[in-house]
Amino acid sequence: MMRGRLASFEPSRRTVLAAAAGFAVGGLGPLSVARAFAQSAPAAGAAAPAGPSHGLSVFGDLKYPADFTHFDWVNPDAPKGGRMVFMPPSWGYNQNVQTFNTLNSFVLKGDAPPRMELVFASLMTRALDEPDAIYGLAAETVEIDASGNVCRFVLRDGLTFHDGSPLTADDVAFSLTILKIEGHPQISETIREMVKAEADGPKAVVVTYSGRQTRQLQQFVAQLPIFSRAYYSGREFGASTLSPPLGSGPYKVGRLEAGRFIEYERVADWWGRDLPASRGLGNFDVIRIPFYREMTVSFEALKTGEVTFREEFISRNWATGYDFPAARDGRVKRATLPDQRPAGAQGFFLNMRRPRFADVRVRQAIGLCFDFEWANKALFYGLYTRTQSFFQNSDMMAQGEPDAAELALLEPHRDRLPQAVFGPAVTAPVSDGSGQDRKLLRQAAGLMAEAGWTHAAGKLVDAGGRPFTIEFLDSDPSLSRVVQPFIRNLRLIGIEANERVVDPVQYQSRVRDYDFDATIRRFSLSATPGEEIRTMWGSKAGAQPGSNNLAGISDPVVDSLIETMISAPTRAEMTTAARALDRVLRAIVPWVPNWYRATYLVAYWDRFGFPAEPPRYGFPPELTWWSDPGKAGPGQGG
């Protein structure tokens, strides 16, 4: 999935859109390669659709028939024009919302701007009102053979790149092949069971799988970007570059200034503009993304109209900050919209590759020092609920005692699992809300003692006299008001804790190489998770730079349950496997869970039109909204 990170500074600091083909998580919408990355096709051996189809679904019938004209969640007659100055709430792979130094977004190297996926078309694209359905974009039809191991896409007529050169099956085969070889690890690892992609004439692409793939992989592959083979014949695919790439999507790179802003310009004669899966989407002539090193600065930019749309992630702003002139007189509007997506998991992830975090009792003790109840009351204005699960806000979340179906998956591994897995699902401690719950702090001190740490001059030390230290790594000081009280509690039990805020490029490099003690991240999942969860919790991913397995989880039971989950033949069995996996992950305690809310909080200048409410599985205003010239609005943001 690329390295999707939903940027949020309270509810979801850096969301890794895990499914997001990365861009995971919530999905950029049908015009995006990312954020929709794990909805799928049949697994090897499963029944395949009879003949060519206009779409693919994992567990059920497609909502939209072959003759559909547009998705229900768009305005098919939305006018084109205007611009949105947009603060992206999500991003993935090597993208960075604070700065950028390359426009190559699908490799590990460099820091790319969010939304580069808009520049590239894909074979198929998401329907955000269905949990696991995709429909044809560059591909007119798709057909899977009876084995489930061979997928044939037939391309539409009239496909071109932005320079007018034809987009052919050879370009698609090249793209899938190069991404497997040189793409970002969250892509290359996900598609490892794709054996080959070949052109069968100018309009047909045949993708062959190993037979070990899951039901989701074919859909992931169908949403990957399409590159020009001719363009890269004289260029290094993996190089960092600020030269705008040759694309084939609804937008192209326009004006930019590295690290300051980028503009995406709508391609007026794009071949896909009137397709059913595109109609009513990509309405702005320009989508501009400015870059700010701190979220407080971006909020000030909203006040002046330099930013015209912002999803709010700082509860203090939402509760008290919208008392500026434009908000008082109605030029800036606010809305609370339902967010029905799986909330995923946000927390302080502890790097278990480092010996001092290897003992589960140590990780439990650290968690006892975080007082969520106090933070929610004192800092968050009561807007949030404590995250408990890696599948929060979904049916995949484990609750209470395991049922018979979950036990059937867990019992074979009983001798390798902590007893906590077989009782009520592990939940975060509840404090008295004082900010320094003495009972919980005593429990934390006791766990550290059990783990072999002793006190010397008020500090916890190991047998060699070395102090226990923990550094919280971040690239923005916005969360310091949460981290600093946590640090004070850790110091009360003898842990030398501190916060380190580094520049965005250094942050990304250190996280990529797992050079940290603890960092905050949100992983946002699709409704039908697939191969991408291997990059989040799988043992192999934990040893590979650039994966989403930040904590370094390396557990054969986790690996086994991941495979059971993503290979499940029915949604019910997938859900059962997810609950069993959730129990094991929570018992490992690789994190200090944070918080979530099941709403979008948005603020925008009153110059837009928009559908009545976002679709269930995503919220891409930059694609579904449109400019309304009859409304008032600020300047154009640069």
Kindly report, residue by residue over 555-580, the tens digit of the pLDDT. Answer: 999 999 999 999 898 999 999 999 99
Going by C-alpha positions, the residue among 244, 259, 10 that lies closest to residue 111 is 259
Phi-psi region of 169 (alpha: psi -120 to 50; beta: other; left: phi over 0): alpha
Region 535-548 average pLDDT: 92
Going by C-alpha positions, the residue among 424, 433, 440, 518 that lies closest to residue 479 is 518
Q: Please indicate, yes or no, if residue 547 is contained in any of the structural domains.
A: no
Q: Please indicate, yes or no, if residue 501 is contained in any of the structural domains.
A: yes
Region 5-24 average pLDDT: 32
Confidence at residue 295, expressed as pLDDT on a 0 to 100 scale = 80
Region 221-229 average pLDDT: 97
More confident residue, 511 or 526: 511
Q: pLDDT over 70 for what percent of the chain?
A: 91
More confident residue, 614 or 12: 614
Domain hosting residue 374, numbered range: 352-387+430-516
pLDDT at 190 > cutoff 60: yes
Confidence at residue 26, expressed as pLDDT on a 0 to 100 scale = 27
Distance CA(367)–CA(490), nearest Å, equals 9
Going by C-alpha positions, the residue among 51, 56, 28, 14 that lies closest to residue 528 is 56
Confidence at residue 632, expressed as pLDDT on a 0 to 100 scale = 56
Region 477-496 average pLDDT: 95
Region 383-389 average pLDDT: 93
Q: Please indicate, yes or no, if residue 346 is contained in any of the structural domains.
A: no
Q: Given pLDDT bands bounded at 50, 70 and 90, which one contains residue 424?
A: very high
More confident residue, 61 or 402: 402
pLDDT at 294 > cutoff 90: no
Beta bridge partners of 85: 288
**What is the total count of domains within the chain?**
1
DSSP state of 104: -
Pairing type for strands 150-155 and 124-126 reads unpaired
pLDDT at 316 > cutoff 80: yes
> Tell me: the pLDDT tens digits for 255-276?
999 999 999 999 999 999 999 9
Q: Please indicate, yes or no, if residue 458 is contained in any of the structural domains.
A: yes
Confidence at residue 203, expressed as pLDDT on a 0 to 100 scale = 96
Q: Please indicate, yes or no, if residue 274 is contained in any of the structural domains.
A: no
Can you give the pTM of this predicted structure?
A: 0.79
Region 70-99 average pLDDT: 93
Q: How far is CA 181 from the centre of its chain?
A: 23
The whole-chain average pLDDT of the chain stands at: 89
More confident residue, 444 or 48: 444
> HEC profile for 448-480?
HHHCCCEEECCEEECCCCCECEEEEEECCHHHH
> Tell me: the pLDDT tens digits for 330-354?
999 999 998 888 877 899 999 999 9
Distance CA(485)–CA(470), nearest Å, equals 14
pLDDT at 600 > cutoff 70: yes
Confidence at residue 489, expressed as pLDDT on a 0 to 100 scale = 98
Mean pLDDT check: name the lowest of 264-273, 331-340, 400-409, 424-433: 331-340
Strands (E), 147-240: 150-155, 194-199, 204-209
Q: Please indicate, yes or no, if residue 167 is contained in any of the structural domains.
A: no
93 three-class SS: coil
Q: Please indicate, yes or no, if residue 476 is contained in any of the structural domains.
A: yes
Q: Given pLDDT bands bounded at 50, 70 and 90, which one contains residue 38?
A: very low
Q: Which amino acid is at 601?
A: L
Q: pLDDT over 90 for what percent of the chain?
A: 76
Distant-in-sequence, close-in-space partners of 219: CB < 8 Å, separation ≥ 6: 38, 39, 40, 41, 56, 58, 124, 132, 134, 530
Neighbours of 329 (CB within 10 A): 10
Region 117-145 average pLDDT: 96
Confidence at residue 8, expressed as pLDDT on a 0 to 100 scale = 32
Q: Given pLDDT bands bounded at 50, 70 and 90, which one contains residue 633?
A: low
pLDDT at 43 > cutoff 50: no
Which domain CATH number covers 453?
3.10.105.10
Q: Please indicate, yes or no, if residue 42 is contained in any of the structural domains.
A: no
Going by C-alpha positions, the residue among 469, 474, 472, 520 that lies closest to residue 501 is 474
Distance CA(25)–CA(7), nearest Å, equals 11
